[in-house]
Structure 1
Amino acid sequence: MNVPDDGAAIAAFLSALAAEAGAARNTLMAYRSDLELASDALSGRLGRAQPTDLNRLADGWATLARSTVARKSAALRRFFGFLLDEGLRADDPSSALPRPGGMQRRLPRVLDHIDIDRLFSVLAARLAASKDASADLRLLALVELLYGSGLRATELVSLEVRAISPDRPYAILKGKGGRERLVPVSDRARAAVTAWKAVRGDAPGYLFPSGAKHLSRVRLFQLLRTLAAEAGIPPDRISPHVLRHAFATHLLEGGADLRALQTMLGHADIATTEIYTHVETARLVELVTTRHPLADKGRET
């Protein structure tokens, strides 16, 4: 493993959490405390921890409140997910952490269809008005791939230029844990990428280059927030992950099979995918509560 020392790894994780997820100061402080305590308990080897280490760590939480255990587990899961996404670890040992039963899992934030239409309307207006449309063509390709294919931010920004072909309605990606998966690429997304490539040129390398490397996840997050503000959507409601969630939720609403969705999202465990059934159930409950013909009569009795 190529993991930096715990101090550097924790600092990089918190920086990314602040930039990409807009985490509040109190959240960052709580995460820092939980991660540093875990690092101390493992003698500074948290970043290199194995499942047996995490089991031993969790044993020390036996007397803590369930909500505290849940918070500590969540902090460590996100930390190991970050290390995996950044290529600093080849595995994620966090399955060894406890999942306190009976606690409601937080539903992912999603955008509705109207919000998505607003984003694309702003992009269309920008392209129609711009004399140098290169930046907007790039952003259009990025948004089409996030919402149309459900890519993770890291997968998107690190795409090779040859990954998306105009005559191939899918791409083969290497996601978390080095697992390969096939993802759909819509006609719209392929057209947007083709238009971006016409500006970018045919040179090999990253599809979305930036200097000697590729576009950063932080910069992608900033671009989306600016676009959201212009579309009249509160910027704190959008992120690359929110567009990925919208992809999944809207597919499920349209009748997608849960197993097919699991494959497209690259989830190792279908339990992770099942969170979207809760999103859809919540929407259906609200629909019945507000639209059913007996709803008003029930309130009158």
Structure 2
Amino acid sequence: MRDALDRWLTQRRALDNAAEATVTAYRADLLGFLAFLVGHLGEGLGPAAMGRLSTSDMRAWMAHERARGVQARSLARQLSAVKGFVAWLADRDGFDATPVLTTRAPRFQRRLPRPLARDAARAMIDTVEVQSQTSWIGARDAAVVTVLYGCGLRISEALGLNGDASPLPDVLRITGKGGRERVVPVIGPARDAVAAYVALAPFEMTADEPLFRGTRGGRLNPRAIAKVMENARMQLGLPATATPHAMRHSFATHLLEAGGDLRAIQELLGHASLATTQGYTSVDTARLMEVYDNAHPLARRGKD
């Protein structure tokens, strides 16, 4: 079964362009599921045993996970991985996987992302820069946070940039989740912040080396940015939701509030689904009604 799991994960890498972190999470989820089945069924695992799984077996696994403290959101993710693997295995070995595939995921309330207010986003960038007594590190941290907010990048995408991205061009070509490629415009303040950091950094920015460096010259760890933002938000009195990812939320929300098109913002963020983009934006009812009144033909007819 471990060999089958390795083959399935290899296919996920090749066919879905799954990120390594996603593959690692799949592996951990499925190894946990298989380990539970060995103890629960009291027998070795093979296609025959997998084909005999029942709805009660699945419920027993889910109850076991909840008893371990796994939250509903995480359990739903685990179940998704289990269904994907078992469906592939059933297709390959010819057994009925209906009890597994029809198992319902636990319900959970989706947490809406919390963007920063416009003034708070700018204050975060300014405050991050003065957290370090080393000038180049302060400039580096400010440059990273500016790129997150100014370009809407994920922290992994920003820290994945190499020296050939300096000086920042007018547009960046970013490969995001699922191998989806997108073109992201780069605003002047982001270019200026990166240029200021590069001018102070004690490293040569070669094409194949990281753009954002740690103190020893290696690729900057995301935890370093999370930590400096944590210190900054405590000084500013901002909530714990003021994280690196919140800067990306703020990018989307502030564009939409300024009249940006939701579909265009979807492209800028690299979302496969428009529904995901809607979840990343925070727009009140008054703003929605304003757009509705100004755009809908029937609503406009009464004004013309």
TM-score by length of 2: 0.60
CA distance, structure 1, for counterparts of residue 190 and residue 170 of structure 2: 9
Instruction: Indicate the residue corresponding to 1:165 in structure 2.
Output: 167
Three-state SS of the structure 1 residue aligned to 2:272 is coil
2:33 partner amino acid: A
Aligned counterparts, 1:179-194, within 5 A:
179-194=180-195
Pick the aligned partner of 1:227 from 223, 232, 237: 232
Note the alpha carbon deviations across 1:30-51, whole angstroms, 9 max, x for none: xx9x8775353577xxxxxxxx
Contact in 1 for aligned 2:115/2:246 (Cα 8 Å): yes
Instruction: Indicate the residue corresponding to 2:67 in structure 1.
Output: none
Instruction: Indicate the residue corresponding to 2:140 in structure 1.
Output: 138
Pick the aligned partner of 1:119 from 110, 118, 124: 124
Note the alpha carbon deviations across 1:140-196, whole angstroms, 9 max, x for none: 101100111111111111210122434x22111121122221112110000010111
Aligned counterparts, 1:203-282, within 5 A:
203-204=205-206, 205-210=209-214, 211=216, 213-234=218-239, 236-276=240-280, 279-281=282-284
1:170 partner amino acid: V
Deviation at 1:109, TM superposition (A): 2.0
Asked if 1:149 is matched to 2:151, the reply is: yes
Instruction: Indicate the residue corresponding to 2:76 in structure 1.
Output: 73
Contact in 2 for aligned 1:252/1:276 (Cα 8 Å): no
Note the alpha carbon deviations across 1:225-269, whole angstroms, 9 max, x for none: 1122222324x2221111111111111111111111111111122
CA distance, structure 1, for counterparts of residue 153 and residue 128 of structure 2: 20
CA distance, structure 1, for counterparts of residue 278 and residue 137 of structure 2: 36
Note the alpha carbon deviations across 1:111-142, whole angstroms, 9 max, x for none: 11232132234357x39xx9852111111101
Q: Residues 59 and 284 of structure 1: is their aligned pair in 2 closer, same or farther, counting only changes over 3 Å? A: farther
Counting matched residue pairs gives 226
Q: Residues 41 and 57 of structure 1: is their aligned pair in 2 closer, same or farther, counting only changes over 3 Å? A: farther
CA distance, structure 1, for counterparts of residue 270 and residue 259 of structure 2: 19
Deviation at 1:203, TM superposition (A): 3.0
Deviation at 1:284, TM superposition (A): 4.9
1:112 partner amino acid: A
**What percentage of residue pairs aligned between the two structures are identical?**
33
2:241 partner amino acid: R
1:155 partner amino acid: E
CA distance, structure 2, for counterparts of residue 150 and residue 59 of structure 1: 44
CA distance, structure 1, for counterparts of residue 224 and residue 103 of structure 2: 34
Determine which structure has more spread, i.e. the larger CA radius of gyration.
2
CA distance, structure 1, for counterparts of residue 205 and residue 118 of structure 2: 36
Instruction: Indicate the residue corresponding to 2:33 in structure 1.
Output: 38
Three-state SS of the structure 2 residue aligned to 1:206 is coil
CA distance, structure 1, for counterparts of residue 54 and residue 143 of structure 2: 44
Deviation at 1:76, TM superposition (A): 6.3
Deviation at 1:60, TM superposition (A): 5.5
Q: Residues 260 and 41 of structure 1: is their aligned pair in 2 closer, same or farther, counting only changes over 3 Å? A: farther
Contact in 2 for aligned 1:181/1:263 (Cα 8 Å): yes
Contact in 2 for aligned 1:147/1:246 (Cα 8 Å): yes
CA distance, structure 2, for counterparts of residue 97 and residue 251 of structure 1: 40
Contact in 1 for aligned 2:171/2:185 (Cα 8 Å): yes
1:280 partner amino acid: V
Q: Residues 221 and 249 of structure 1: is their aligned pair in 2 closer, same or farther, counting only changes over 3 Å? A: same
Q: CA RMSD in A?
A: 4.1
CA distance, structure 2, for counterparts of residue 40 and residue 162 of structure 1: 45
Contact in 2 for aligned 1:110/1:242 (Cα 8 Å): yes
Aligned counterparts, 1:19-34, within 5 A:
none
Contact in 1 for aligned 2:72/2:107 (Cα 8 Å): no
